[in-house]
Homo-oligomer: A and B are copies of this chain.
Amino acid sequence: MTLRIRCQQCSVRSCAPCSALTAATADQLARIVHRRRIPAGQILYGGPDRAKTFSIIVEGVVKLVNVQPDGSNQIVGLQFPSEFVGRPFVEGAPLVAEAATDLEVCAFSGSAFETLMQTHADLERTIFKRTLDDLDFARQWMSMIARKTAEERVASLLMLIASKFRDKARDGRQAVAGLEFNLPLSRTEIAECLGLRLETVSRQFAALKAEGIITTGRRRGLKVADMAALGERAQGLVHA
């Protein structure tokens, strides 16, 4: 599982999705990849235009949104750096992938990527395995939403996000305690993730602040002062 490709347009050190591929496949991939910057709010796939693209996130967060008939949104998944965004084999995916923050991605045109996937079994298997992991995670998340209280849900989401930032920080050998970052989601979006209303989310933030577990900076700034305590509140979410 060593790194077999240095994606020419890709500065990521260890390109996780590519590392499982053969040199030949990685080479083919490198020919159709193009680095793109995508502003927050832009649709990656789904929605009215039905643009079909596949991407690997280099920087930023993508939200997978289920638009309900009554107009409300439900966020059913978040994709973080190094993760894959796309829905092979169908034209009209039932959900919309939207940039939650400004993004930097390795993008592949839908047709080229699908063709490549059908001729290179190792690529298909890599995406297949990620899909299985996504499915496991979606089911874990479902359990979380079905059973937990508002406090536990908010803590779980913060743990999930914080753990992603912690992983990134570790690459740069940053301190684990007192993790500080900008939330990639608004209060409304957090509520849409958790099946709560934004007022409830706000109150839970206030409660966590009052207990000294987190502090909020201006805008979307957040500092997790006590990761262990936050984990306790999350009550054992399996964070991938």
Interface check A138, CB cutoff 8 A: yes
Interface check A110, CB cutoff 8 A: no
Q: Which of B139, B195, B235, B238 contacts A138 (CB 8 A)?
A: B139
Interface check A236, CB cutoff 8 A: yes
Q: Could you tell me the distance in whole angstroms from the C-beta of A32 to the nearest C-beta in chain B? A: 20
Q: Mark A119-142, 1 if CB is under 8 A from B, else 0.
A: 001001101110110111011111
Q: Could you tell me the distance in whole angstroms from the C-beta of A200 to the nearest C-beta in chain B? A: 13
Identical copies in the complex? 2
Q: Which of B125, B131, B235 contacts A132 (CB 8 A)?
A: B131
Residues of B within 8 A of A143 (CB): 66, 68, 74, 76
Residues of B within 8 A of A140 (CB): 66, 94
Complex Cα distance, B128 from A235, in Å, reads 32
Are B132 and A89 within 8 A (Cβ)?
Answer: yes
Q: Mark A83-107, 1 if CB is under 8 A from B, else 0.
A: 0000111100111000000000000
Interface check A31, CB cutoff 8 A: no
Interface check A194, CB cutoff 8 A: yes
Interface check A145, CB cutoff 8 A: yes
Q: Which of B88, B132, B147 contacts A195 (CB 8 A)?
A: B147
* Contact flag A195-B94 (CB < 8 Å), given A88-B132, A132-B131, A138-B138: no
Interface check A62, CB cutoff 8 A: no
Are A76 and B124 within 8 A (Cβ)?
Answer: no
Are A95 and B139 within 8 A (Cβ)?
Answer: yes
Interface check A11, CB cutoff 8 A: no
Nearest residue (CB) in B for A67 is B143
Given contacts A66-B140, A135-B135, 6 further A-B contacts (CB under 8 A): A74-B146, A74-B147, A95-B139, A121-B124, A145-B145, A145-B146
What are 21 A-B residue pairs whose CB atoms fall within 8 Å in the complex?
Answer: A66-B140, A68-B143, A70-B235, A72-B147, A74-B142, A74-B143, A74-B146, A76-B143, A88-B132, A89-B129, A94-B139, A95-B136, A127-B128, A128-B131, A135-B135, A138-B138, A138-B139, A141-B142, A145-B146, A146-B195, A147-B195
